[in-house]
Structures are given as C-alpha cells and as structure tokens.
C-alpha cells in the first residue's frame, strides 16, 4: 500500500525477485472488490449497498465477504502456482484509496506492507504522470476539483491516504509494516531484510540484481521502472525545483507528517507578498525577453 508514485512498483519488483514470492503487475482485483462493497446511507442511517441488500435476502455479511475474498484470492493463488512459488504479494497503487473496504474484505487473512515517499516528490511525480498520460485518474478528481493547483491537490491526496495507512498500522501493529522509499533507494538490502522478515521469510542475496535482470510478467505498472537497470536516486528531491512560495504555503499541512516519518521540515516563512511576486515575475519576463533577442 502506498500513494501512487511512492515507489510501490520498485518494491513489488524487488519482492517478486524472492524465490517464494510472486507479485504480478497491477491486477486491480482488490479495488474492484472494494467498489463492490461500497455503500451509501439514507437520512435514517440505513446503509444501502451489496452487504445490506444481501443481508435482507438472508445472506450474512461474513459469508458474502468470504465468497468475495475467495474470488480475489483464487486468481492470485493460481498466478502464484503458475510462477512455481508459494506466496503472493498484490500491489495496485490506487488500492490505497479503498483501504477501508479492502481491510473489511481481507481482515486478518493478509499482512500489509506500506511505503511512504516525501509528499512533495510524490506530488511532482504525480503531476508528471498525469501530464504524460493526459488524464487525471478518477481517484484524483475530487482533489483536482477542490484545489486549483495540481501540486496542492496531490499533496492533500497524499495526506489523506498516508493518514489512512498510519491508522491501519495503529489498528494492526502486528500485521502492518511501513517503510520509506528514500531508505529503500539508499539501503535496499536492509529495507528488504526488514520487509521480508516481517512476512516470515528470509531475504535472499540476489534479490536486488534479480529484480532488474528479469522483466517478469509485463502488465499495468510504472513504466519508468522498466527503463532503468539498477536502483538510483535521480528521482529524489525533485520537489526542490518547485516555487518556494508554493512549497512554503504547504508547510503547515505536511510538516506534522514529515516529522513523524523523519523528513526535514519545510520552512513556512518563505512566502512572498504580492509586490515581491510581481517583481520577480517582471524580472523573469525581462530575462527571457533578452535571451530571445540575442
């Protein structure tokens, strides 16, 4: 689990390199099951959805959840068997937006691996992805409608999903581990040892190299991960190219979570007044005008 552009694909490929773990490209299985479980409420508080509808028809919630869970698990079990392995890890980046329903579905039958990345780098990468794809994924629509600046929209999306992941870890401390993308890039062997050990397996010496030597099953995933041959740090700290005024305005929103995960805090004092902003804008125009003339 992790906000899109947080390194979920890198972690998936590394785990898939383990001799016992099969992790396919994004299947969207759990997100689909989560949509099946979505509900609305009447003014009287009656929930309207599949679970309540089937309960009125005589099917208890536990049975419906079991059948739906068996449906999803069966595909992952069969894929794992096809790969000659014994355990699966499912990763679809947008699952994080359906965390509550997925937890209801999976309950105690799974362990949860979370990954966190600096929110401003997530926002920059998310914007790059949407610009290249020419579309905002539907999970992002409500944020884009609420916040006119895409970077700000992605930041608030990150805040909400990260808080949901933290809450999951607090509810299920024995079933959830959360790592940082930056640590995975800096010390992949150490982080892999921690994550693989958490799910009761032993880390294998060739997991990092094997993850890049073999393409594995191709499908929905982060295409950039297939354009490199090793773990690199080129994608770190891209957010520092953002306008300082924009970054400073977000400080109050993200600093509590930055502190919680051990990131440096953002200086919120670097906001500019309108006169300063206009002056900087005019100076920029003059510089570009001189370049074009000579």
pLDDT at res. 280? 63
Of 118, 115, 81, the closest CA to residue 9 belongs to 115
Does residue 133 sit within a domain? yes
Q: Is the pLDDT of residue 99 over 70?
A: yes
Does residue 268 sit within a domain? yes
Does residue 54 sit within a domain? no
Residues of the chain above pLDDT 90, percent: 75
Residues 101-156 pLDDT 10s: 999 999 899 999 999 999 999 999 999 999 998 999 999 999 999 999 999 999 99
| 71-85, 112-126, 171-185, 234-248: range with lowest mean pLDDT | 234-248
Does residue 150 sit within a domain? yes
The secondary element (H helix, E strand) that includes residue 88 is: strand 87-88
pLDDT band at 270, cuts 50/70/90? Answer: low
* Cα 149 to Cα 188, 242, 249, distances in angstroms: 34, 12, 12
SS3 141: helix
Taking the C-alpha atoms of 139, 142, 145 and 146 in order, what is their torsion angle to the nearest 10 degrees? Answer: -130
**What CATH number has the domain bearing residue 174?**
3.40.50.300
**d(C-alpha 170, C-alpha 99), whole Å:** 14
- The residue count for the chain: 294
Task: Print the domain residue range for 200.
Answer: 8-20+90-293
Q: Give the pLDDT mean for 7-31.
A: 95
Does residue 55 sit within a domain? no
Does residue 56 sit within a domain? no
pLDDT at res. 83? 96
Q: Is the pLDDT of residue 165 over 60?
A: yes
Does residue 30 sit within a domain? no
pLDDT band at 96, cuts 50/70/90? Answer: very high
> Is the pTM here over 0.75, yes or no?
yes
Does residue 68 sit within a domain? no
Our count of domains for the chain comes to 1
Residues 231-241 pLDDT 10s: 888 889 999 99
Residues 200-254 pLDDT 10s: 999 998 899 888 886 667 777 766 666 676 788 888 999 999 998 899 999 999 9
């Amino acid at each position: 689990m992790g906000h899109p552009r947080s390194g979920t694909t890198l972690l998936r490929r590394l785990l898939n390199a383990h001799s016992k773990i099969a992790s396919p490209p994004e299947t969207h299985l759990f997100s689909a099951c989560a949509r099946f479980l979505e509900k609305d409420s009447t003014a009287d508080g009656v929930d309207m959805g599949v679970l309540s509808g089937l309960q009125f028809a005589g099917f208890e919630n536990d049975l419906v959840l079991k059948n739906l869970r068996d449906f999803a698990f069966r595909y992952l079990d069969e894929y794992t068997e096809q790969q000659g392995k014994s355990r699966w890890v499912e990763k679809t980046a947008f699952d994080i937006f359906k965390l509550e329903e997925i937890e209801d579905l999976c309950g105690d039958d799974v362990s949860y691996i979370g990954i966190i990345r600096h929110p401003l780098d997530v926002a920059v990468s998310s914007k790059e992805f949407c610009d290249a794809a020419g579309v905002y994924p539907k999970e992002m629509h409500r944020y884009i409608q609420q916040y006119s600046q895409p970077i700000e929209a992605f930041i608030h999306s990150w805040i909400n999903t990260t808080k949901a992941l933290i809450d999951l870890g607090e509810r299920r401390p024995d079933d959830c581990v959360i790592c940082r993308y930056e640590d995975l890039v800096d010390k992949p062997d150490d982080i892999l040892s921690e994550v693989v050990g958490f799910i009761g397996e032993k880390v294998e010496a060739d997991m990092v190299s094997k993850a890049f030597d073999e393409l594995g099953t191709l499908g929905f995933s982060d295409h950039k991960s297939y354009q490199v041959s090793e773990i690199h740090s080129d994608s770190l700290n891209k957010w520092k190219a953002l306008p300082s005024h924009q970054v400073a305005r977000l400080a109050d929103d993200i600093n509590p979570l930055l502190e919680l995960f051990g990131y440096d805090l953002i200086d919120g004092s670097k906001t500019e007044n309108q006169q300063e902003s206009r002056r900087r804008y005019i100076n920029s125009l003059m510089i570009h005008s001189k370049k074009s003339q000579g």
